[in-house]
Amino acid sequence: MSPADPAFGQEPEEHWGVLGEADKATPVKPERGNYAEFYRLLGEALREGTEPPVDPSDAVTVLDIIRHAHQVQRGYASHLVSRADLTAHHLAPGPRDQLAIHNPGEGWVSLPHLIDALATEFAELGGQLVTGAGRCPVEAERENGRVSGVRSENGRSWHGDAVVVACGSDTPAVVAELGVYIPDGSVPSMLVIAEPARAEARSVLNTPRVAMRPNPGETFAIDHSWYEDRIVEHEDGTWSIDEATVNELVGEASALLDDAEPLIPASWKLGRKPIPGDGQPVFGELATVPGCHVAFTHSGATLGLIAGELTTHEVLTGDRHPLLAEFRPERYSPTHRGEV
């Protein structure tokens, strides 16, 4: 699989979205009628005075602008663009007149295609892939606390010199059994895949009401957060949402595209989006359980490739990669937080 594969996004200058590490600081909505801080942040971010490009009483757009300002303050490439700017970035603007955030250098990958390719290569190289094993606690040696493998619910064990805990929203619970605390901020989430469409859009787009990216097969992957409270988790572990909400979300995506035919939802999946309690990704070896590594983050479509590469480097070499310095699990330890 190569960057030219349809499972990968376009060249960096065509990438849109707010999906990387720089977007983890949660913006605070200014109180109505008190926008001094908002104007200051916006002025710094846009470097063109303090007049906002929209009515600051529009809370949704204000939050997006403040999020953009946070990104700029963190040194992250971020640009606010209007409807008039969209055609320059390979997106035919539809009737919805709203701002979007452009993050040059961000891309995406189709995770199902990537996983299938990696699993196939893994098996061809002689690896053993076990699926449907259920919850598998990590085992560690009593003498030195070093990881020794994992054990399935039926008692079967797999021994290994290293274990990577990458269990999505269940990751904090798995490492808690090892005495390690990682706060969990995971939330109900939904991802919709649209029917194939001939819309002229080749970029990732993030707006106040919908986030969408191209998907293989001339489809789109669509999601957002405004409908989280409409997602229902049932006692048997299944999830549901009113189909009207699905159609509403896809309608928001259609409104961004200058296309005669509206997008149609083909399928949607529900579950918990893995989000660490402080919003920052968690990567690296557990200090108290040598050999046990953690990969706990949201935005797998944009962070999955680099996260896997850096984690592999640390597992194989034993060296701590400098790019993961700010995201290590020990930042939650009482000593690191100054509590002891």
Question: CA-CA-CA-CA torsion for 226, 229, 232, 238, nearest 10 degrees?
Answer: 50
Could you tell me if 220 and 213 are in contact, meaning their C-beta atoms sit under 8 angstroms apart? yes
* Residue 164, beta-bridge partner list: 293
Buried b (16+ CB within 10 A) or exposed e, 309-320: ebbeebeeeeee
CA 20 to chain centre: 7
From residue 21, alpha-carbon distances to 183, 196, 215, 319 in Å are 17, 30, 22, 22
Q: What is the pLDDT of residues 257-284, one digit of tens each?
A: 876 689 999 999 999 999 999 999 999 9
Q: What ranges in 191-259 are assigned the alpha helix state H?
A: 243-254
Q: Is it the case that residue 56 has pLDDT exceeding 50? A: no
With bands split at pLDDT 50, 70 and 90, how would you rate the model's confidence at 327? very high
Q: Which of 148, 147, 149, 152 is nearest to 136 (CA)?
A: 152
Q: Is it the case that residue 309 has pLDDT exceeding 60? A: yes
pLDDT at 7: 54
Q: Which of 283, 247, 253, 288 is nearest to 268 (CA)?
A: 247
Q: Which of 193-202, 209-218, 263-272 is most confident?
A: 263-272
pLDDT at 257: 81
Q: Is it the case that residue 20 has pLDDT exceeding 50? A: no
Sign (positive/negative) of CA torsion 92, 96, 98, 102?
negative
Q: What is the pLDDT of residues 78-133, one digit of tens each?
A: 777 766 665 555 454 554 556 677 776 667 788 889 899 999 999 999 999 999 99
Could you tell me if 290 and 147 are in contact, meaning their C-beta atoms sit under 8 angstroms apart? yes
130-185+278-332, CATH topology level: FAD/NAD(P)-binding domain (3.50.50)
Q: Which of 62-71, 142-151, 192-201, 202-211 is most confident?
A: 142-151
CB count within 10 Å of CB 84 equals 9
Tokens of 126: 């002689």
Range 12-108+187-273 has CATH code 3.30.9: yes
Q: Is it the case that residue 193 has pLDDT exceeding 90? A: yes
Question: CA-CA-CA-CA torsion for 340, 168, 133, 150, nearest 10 degrees?
Answer: -30
pLDDT at 57: 46
Q: Can you give the pTM of this predicted structure? A: 0.74
* Residue 292, beta-bridge partner list: 163
Least confident interval from 22-26, 69-73, 190-194, 212-216 = 22-26
**CA–CA distance, 275 with 192 (Å, rounded to integer):** 19
CA 303 to chain centre: 7
From residue 262, alpha-carbon distances to 82, 188, 259, 300 in Å are 22, 26, 7, 28
Q: Where do the domains of the chain lie? A: 12-108+187-273, 130-185+278-332
From residue 265, alpha-carbon distances to 238, 251, 258, 261 in Å are 20, 9, 18, 13
